């Protein structure tokens, strides 16, 4: 009887040892998953923080919904704007920037529309603070100096809807050269002159007769600037669709095209 009792106690001890070993193996099995999950979450948080910093301080992406900047920017273009071009944005300052500087005449900029700052506009800078801006017979005049215009062949606007009603030109002023289009009718169209107030810029669309710009709602406060447009990174052509007219074609020639 005594030996039988000892045998039972021995078996009990063995069972206890096995139970402890099983729990240790389960703990070791769950440990790699916990480490992987923690590493994944840390990487995700870091990626989100970096993306937010880049979005707020360095670069932002926008889509072009209208034709006001044709032919430079077309409907369906997706663009990148560099925020550091005009200084480092100061959070919660209402648009103030550290080390801010003025844009150059001729640069294409993204800004918050003065009438509704939740709306983003894209236009070309033509006047800086103190400049005297006018349009005479559809020609831009800055500080009594008329921009130079070189007619371009119709091939330059071959994909523009209603292109027979427009004429394309190479416009040059203040060291900037770019394409603009004007309506073939009413060559006597004029504006101004107006003097750009301090702390503001005067902007125009490159589609001069189909653009809502500073001619209609005034100069843009410099603090409303979001950044300088650098390039087109993608472009959809919704006028030429495929797949039973459901999908836009891609303008491959515009991908990663610089904007000037």
Can you read off the two tokens belonging to residue 54? 């880049």
Give the pLDDT confidence score for residue 90 in this predicted structure.
Answer: 67
For residues 109 and 82, what is the distance between their CA atoms, to the nearest angstrom? 9
Question: What's the predicted TM-score (pTM) here?
Answer: 0.75
Q: Find the catalytic residue in 67, 68, 211, 235.
A: 68
Q: Would you say 179 and 206 are in contact if contact means Cβ atoms under 8 Å apart?
A: yes
Give the pLDDT confidence score for residue 206 in this predicted structure.
Answer: 95
Alpha carbons within 13 angstroms on the beta-carbon side of residue 203 total 29
**119 three-state secondary structure:** coil
pLDDT in tens, 130-157: 999 999 989 999 999 999 999 998 877 8
Q: Find the catalytic residue in 67, 74, 83, 123.
A: 123
Look up 3 and say whether it is catalytic.
no
Look up 68 and say whether it is catalytic.
yes
Give the pLDDT confidence score for residue 148 in this predicted structure.
Answer: 95
Lateral strand order in the sheet of 166-173? 148-151, 166-173, 176-183
pLDDT in tens, 51-93: 665 555 568 889 999 989 999 999 999 999 988 878 766 666 6
* Nearest one of 105, 112, 111, 125 to 206, comparing CA atoms: 125
């Amino acid at each position: 009887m005594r030996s039988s009792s000892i045998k039972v106690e021995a078996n009990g001890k063995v069972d206890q040892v096995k139970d402890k070993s099983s729990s240790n193996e389960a703990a070791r099995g769950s440990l790699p998953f916990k480490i992987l999950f923690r590493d994944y979450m840390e990487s995700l948080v870091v990626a989100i923080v970096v993306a937010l910093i880049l979005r707020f301080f360095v670069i932002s992406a926008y889509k072009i919904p209208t034709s006001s900047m044709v032919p430079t920017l077309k409907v369906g273009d997706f663009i990148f704007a560099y925020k550091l071009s005009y200084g480092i944005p100061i959070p919660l300052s209402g648009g103030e920037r550290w080390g801010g500087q003025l844009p150059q005449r001729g640069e294409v900029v993204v800004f918050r529309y003065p009438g509704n700052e939740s709306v983003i506009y894209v236009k070309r800078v033509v006047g800086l603070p103190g400049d005297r801006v006018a349009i005479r017979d559809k020609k831009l005049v800055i500080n009594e100096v008329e921009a130079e215009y070189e007619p371009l062949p119709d091939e330059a606007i071959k994909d523009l809807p209603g292109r027979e009603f427009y004429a394309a030109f190479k416009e040059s002023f203040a060291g900037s050269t770019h394409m603009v289009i004007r309506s073939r009718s009413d060559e006597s169209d004029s504006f101004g002159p107006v003097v750009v107030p301090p702390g503001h810029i005067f902007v125009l669309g490159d589609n001069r007769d189909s653009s809502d710009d500073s001619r209609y709602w005034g100069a843009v406060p410099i603090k409303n600037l979001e950044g300088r447009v650098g390039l087109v990174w993608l472009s959809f052509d919704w006028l030429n669709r495929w797949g039973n007219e459901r999908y836009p074609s891609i303008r491959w020639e515009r991908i990663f095209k610089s904007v000037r």
